Amino acid sequence: MATVTFSNATRVYPGSDKPAVDSLNLEIEDGEFLVLVGPSGCGKSTSLRMLAGLEEVDQGRIFIGDKDVTDVTPKDRDIAMVFQNYALYPHMTVAQNMGFALKIAGTPKEEINARVLEAAKILDLEEYLERKPKALSGGQRQRVAMGRAIVRQPQVFLMDEPLSNLDAKLRVQTRTQIASLQRRLGITTVYVTHDQTEALTMGDRIAVLKDGLLQQVGTPREMYDSPANRFVAGFIGSPAMNIGSWRIDGDHAIYGEARVPLPADVQSSISPEDDNRIIVGFRPENLERAEAGAEYTIPVKVTLVEELGSDAYIYGSVLGHESEVDKFGSGDGSDQVVIRIPPASVPEADEVIHVQLKPGTGYFFSQSTGNALNRR
C-alpha cells in the first residue's frame, strides 16, 4: 500500500491548446478510497490514466509512495486497473482470467492457485471458477475483473467507471460491495465516476473536476454541506441544489416575487464586480412551509408532486420568474425548483405554496467569481 501524489500534473493532448488536466495537485492517503468525479470531459479519466502510465504527463510529477513514477512504464508501477468493460478473455475460465497477470509474471502455479482461491472467497466466486465469462451475469463479470486486480496485491487500485455497464439495481448492490471490499483490503484506491451519487456513497473523500481543473477536495459531508463554488454546489446532491442569480436589494435578494434575507457576512463580502447580483442556492430540504404574509417567502406554483412514501417532492416554478433574465431552479439552466416536504402535507398541482429558508440554511456565491461567500 502507498500514498499517491499528483504534483502540478498536466496533460495536453496533441492538437489541443487547452490542457485536459491542468496543474493537478492532489494527495491521496495510504489506504484511502478517493473518488474523482465530474461531468463528461472534465479530465477525471485522463488523470487516472496518467497515474496508470497510459497517458503522458506533459508537466509536473506523479508519485506512488516516495517513488516518482512519472516516466515509469505501466507494468512497473505496481498498480491494478479495473475497467468499465471488464476486459475479460472470453476463451479463459474465471480462474484463468483472475490468475493470468500472475502467470505472465512467472509466479509459481501453486501461489497463483492460492491467490485466486483467496480472491474468489472474498468475492463469492468460488462456484464460478471453471465457468467462462459468457456464462456469467454482468455483476459476476465485474467481480471477476475485481478479482483479477486483487490477486496481484498491488499498492494502488485504479477503477474507471466500473459500474456504468450494470443495471440500476445491480449498480447499487455492487457499489456497496466494492466500498466494503476496499475497506477490508485497505488498498489505496482511486475511483473515477460521473455519478455523484456513487461518489457520495463510496468515497472517503471526493475530488471534483471541471474543465481539467480541480474544484474542491473533501469528505462527502464537506462537499454537500460546504461547496467551495457554484459548480460544486450544483453538481453534488440529488435532487440538485436550486441555484441561480438573484438581484440584491439592501439586506435581501429578490427573484420574481421571492425574497430571501442576506446574512451580514454575505453582505460584507459582496464586491462592485458582482454588479448588484448574487448567486443564491438552497437544497430541497432547506425549505419549510410558510404563511403567505410572512416577510421573506418564496412563492412556488406547483406543477408536479412526487410522493415517495417517507418523503414527498414538489416540483414547480417561482412566481414571477418570467420577468427575470436568468433562470433559477434545480441545476444550472433549469427554472424548475424542487422542494422536499413531509408526505402528510402534500399540495395539489397548480396550487401556489409559500416556503422560506430554514434558519441557518441557504448558500450564497459571488456573481463575478462563483466562489462561496458563506462557507460552513
The confidence band for 82, taking pLDDT boundaries of 50, 70 and 90, is confident
Q: Which residues pair with 242 in a beta bridge?
A: 282, 330
Which amino acid appears at position 102 of this protein? L
- Would you call 294 exposed, middle or buried from its count of C-beta atoms within 10 A (0-12, 13-18, 19+)? exposed
pLDDT at 164: 81
Mind giving me the DSSP string for 295-322?
SS-EEEEEEEEEE-SS-EEEEEEETTGG
Over 70: is that where the pLDDT of 292 sits? yes
Whether 376 has a pLDDT exceeding 70, the answer reads: no
pLDDT of residue 47: 97
Q: Is 225 or 177 the better-scoring residue by pLDDT?
A: 225
Q: Is the pLDDT of residue 23 over 70?
A: yes
User: What domains can be seen in the chain, in order of their start residue?
Assistant: 4-231 (3.40.50.300), 242-366 (2.40.50.140)
**Residue 297: its pLDDT value, please?**
95
What Rg, from alpha-carbon coordinates, does the chain have?
24
Quick: pLDDT tens for 306-359. 988 888 999 999 999 999 999 999 987 889 999 999 888 888 889 999 999 999
Concatenated DSSP letters for 206-229?
Answer: EEEEETTEEEEEE-HHHHHHS-SB
Q: Cβ(179)–Cβ(187) under 8 Å?
A: no
Q: What is the pLDDT of residue 257?
A: 96
Give the tens place of pLDDT for each residue, 166-205. Answer: 777 778 888 888 888 888 889 999 999 988 889 999 999 9
| Grid cell 455523484 in the structure block, residue | 196
Q: Kindly tell me the burial class for residue 234, based on how many C-beta atoms sit within 10 Å of its own C-beta (0-12, 13-18, 19 or more).
A: buried
